[in-house]
Amino acid sequence: MRVDPWWRSGVIYQIYPRSFLDTSGDGVGDLEGIRRRLDYLAWLGVDALWLSPIFRSPMADFGYDVSDYCDVDPLFGSLDELDRLVAEAHARDLRMVLDWVPNHTSDRHPWFLESRQSRSSAKRGWYVWRDPAPERGPPNNWMAAFPRDTRAWTFDDATGQYYLHCFLPEQPDLDWSNPEVAAAMHEVLRFWLDRGIDGFRVDVVHCLGKDPALPDDPPDLAAIPHSALNDQPATHGVLRDLRRLVDGYPGDRMLVGEVYLLVQPDVTRYYGRGDELHLVFDLPRTLHTPWDAAAWRERTETVQTAYAAAGAWPTLVLSNHDTPRHRTRLGSEARARAAAVLLLTLPGTPFLYAGEELGLEDAVVPPDRRVDPGGRDGCRAPIPWDQSARHGWAGEPWLPWPPRAERCAVSVLRDDPSSILHLYRRLLAARRASPALQVGDWTVREAPAGVLAYERVAGTDRRLVLVNFTSEPVTVPAAGRVAVASDGGSEGAEFRGELVADAAVVLVPGR
């Protein structure tokens, strides 16, 4: 039972294609690897797949530096293979979401190559070029996101100007105030929407509108990368145009935007009045919430109030390709299991990051194997599929295996009904069967210290969720049948009033 639209009630599974499954033997995951695991994903019970960037790229930022928005990088496969993947995913009722990177291109994109040719190039105004400051040096004090402690400007000797890059020098920022840029990017979206893509995850969408005066960031914030501060009214006009374009297609196409702001964390403005993004990641507010019942209660109450006022629908993310996995952050599988209950029962659209259903930890990556200029290799470790020497991969993977790969492999956990993998599957099934868990109202219930208790209600459908954030057993006076228990215990039986350490349960309350 799925309540419409799919992007509100469903669960979206993020695949980092490089790390999912290699079938070609080059050690980098590919589209064919994803296709071969569609049955697994359907068995798991997710509703949509989001693929991190697969477009042509020199891979300075592993695909977040695009050199052709309308082709698949040969490392991953071909357009034909993508079409086949989409068709086979759709046949299993899985939606397909692609990662679209509109703030910057690769420095090898033909647009930028042309732009840097001369000051009078027809594409000069597609990027942000400025003269040096009067006393020489970059035009303002903005910092790049990586490498750490570097400026967001690179000087181009040939034309004597600086260009802006909020990320690597290989990722020059486009100038979205230029209507030609917007028009070219709209064509890109149409290209993919016409091919049947169901939506886009929009990279650093809050960076699209820039203050035309490019003023310095305030001195007290000047050490923070500009990308975590840029929050301009112009972005909202860009988003309204994108929304109109996407909503012009049939079948509930969707835009989920990455908005990562450290000083102005309220992201609800990016939903507009229901005329901007369909969904927005609320990353700092979730990733930085400590493992503490009061903190999660406060976080969720704040989200509920802010989103209700804005008429917006929240999202939930515990792990992704930019952050240490929550299994690593929380330090134990028991807690990671309890966190999975939160993720799949709190209000909002959950995003799972491939491998969290296996309880994967970040890989420990020795210095000579580090490849990411942003230091994020650990959470991008390859997915182990079986117990063979290369865990099902055709070639030796581009990054080291995560710890305990032997024991966390899909084939092993699939054979073990008590595994975290089966917990995710049961939670996903319980969610799919319950409108209350998908879209119901949320009410916090009083509970002993260290326990978060809440109810989800949609019509006559009700669920009560109890999460023990402590590492001690706790007595909780609640009644109902245990639908899912994070430790697998007593499912189907009446709740006995005690939560074991670091555990969570979903109850169907008694009448």
Chain positions contacting ligand NOJ, by CB under 6 A: 61, 64, 101, 167, 203-204, 258, 321-322, 374
Nearer to ligand NOJ, 64 or 270 (CB): 64
Nearer to ligand NOJ, 102 or 440 (CB): 102
Q: What are phi and psi of 471, to 5 degrees?
A: -100, 30
Q: How far is the CB of 270 from ligand NOJ (least distance, A)?
A: 15
Give the CA-trace dihedral at 172, 177, 180, 184, to 10 degrees.
Answer: 60
Q: Pick the closest to residue 47 from 336, 254, 338 (CA basis).
A: 254
Nearer to ligand NOJ, 74 or 375 (CB): 375
Q: How far is the CB of 400 from ligand NOJ (least distance, A)?
A: 19
* Distance (Å, whole) CA 486 – CA 505: 6
Q: How far is the CB of 321 from ligand NOJ (least distance, A)?
A: 6
Q: How far is the CB of 443 from ligand NOJ (least distance, A)?
A: 34
Q: Which residues are catalytic?
A: 203, 258
Q: How far is the CB of 334 from ligand NOJ (least distance, A)?
A: 29
* Parallel, antiparallel or unpaired: strands 55-56 and 153-156: unpaired
Alpha-carbon distance values, 288 to 307, 313, 328 (Å): 19, 20, 14
Residue nearest ligand NOJ by beta-carbon distance: 64
Q: Which residues partner with 316 through β-bridges?
A: 350
DSSP codes joined into one string, 400-466: PPPTTHHHH-HHHHHT-TTSHHHHHHHHHHHHHT-HHHHH-EEEEE---TTEEEEEEEETTEEEEEE
* Distance (Å, whole) CA 317 – CA 325: 11
Strand, coil or helix: 342: helix
Nearer to ligand NOJ, 64 or 76 (CB): 64
Q: What are phi and psi of 399, to 5 degrees?
A: -130, 160
Nearer to ligand NOJ, 53 or 348 (CB): 53
Question: Is residue 7 a contact partner of residue 252, using CB atoms and an 8 Å limit?
Answer: yes
